């Protein structure tokens, strides 16, 4: 992608403009994927802390893939919860966040303290 076509390429890393751009992008992605917008607001800080911990303490390339794997695991757990709900009920943003948050916290802690002997 040409940097001049990327509006965030002119923003300083970590600047308020960059965060506004990030939140706008993430809101668009959440909508495209059919996810509740509130899950982005609830989880963005935790996910950024997770990816920073993995990138700085484990492996930079593993950071986004780790976040993806947590998303898969959380979706799987929320789906299993939904199977136990009344027919026709959808998984809520709260269900997704509740499934993701403990996984994010656990893996962030593992990346920070280097414990790797237990799955």
The answer on 108 and 77 residing in a single domain is yes
The answer on 62 and 78 residing in a single domain is yes
Question: What residues have CB less than 8 Å from 6, skipping those under 6 apart?
Answer: none
| 8 A C-beta contact, residue 58 and residue 111 | yes
Task: Give percent above pLDDT 90 in the chain.
Answer: 55
The answer on 61 and 23 residing in a single domain is no
Report the b/e string of 10-30 with b at 16+ CB within 10 A.
Answer: ebeeeeeeeeebeeeebeeeb
Selected residue with higher pLDDT from 38 and 49: 49
The answer on 60 and 91 residing in a single domain is yes
Residue range 54-82, pLDDT digits in tens: 999 999 999 999 999 999 999 999 888 76
Average pLDDT along the chain: 84
With a cut of 50, say whether residue 108 has pLDDT above it.
Answer: yes
Domain with 55, as residue range(s), is 35-119
The answer on 44 and 19 residing in a single domain is no
Give the global pTM.
0.77
The answer on 18 and 47 residing in a single domain is no
Mean pLDDT of 101-107: 97
Mean pLDDT of 82-88: 67
Distance CA 113, CA 29 (A): 32
| 8 A C-beta contact, residue 13 and residue 22 | no
With a cut of 70, say whether residue 110 has pLDDT above it.
Answer: yes
């Amino acid at each position: 992608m040409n940097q001049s076509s990327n509006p965030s390429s002119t923003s300083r890393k970590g600047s308020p403009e960059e965060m506004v751009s990030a939140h706008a992008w993430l809101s668009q992605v959440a909508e495209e994927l059919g996810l509740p917008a509130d899950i982005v607001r609830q989880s963005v800080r935790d996910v950024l802390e997770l990816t920073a911990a993995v990138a700085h303490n484990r492996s930079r390339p593993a950071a986004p893939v780790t976040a993806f794997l947590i998303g898969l695991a959380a979706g799987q757990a929320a789906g299993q919860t939904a199977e136990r709900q009344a027919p026709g009920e959808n998984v809520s943003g709260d269900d997704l966040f509740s499934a993701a948050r403990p996984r994010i916290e656990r893996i962030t802690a593992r990346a920070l303290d280097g414990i790797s002997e237990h799955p």
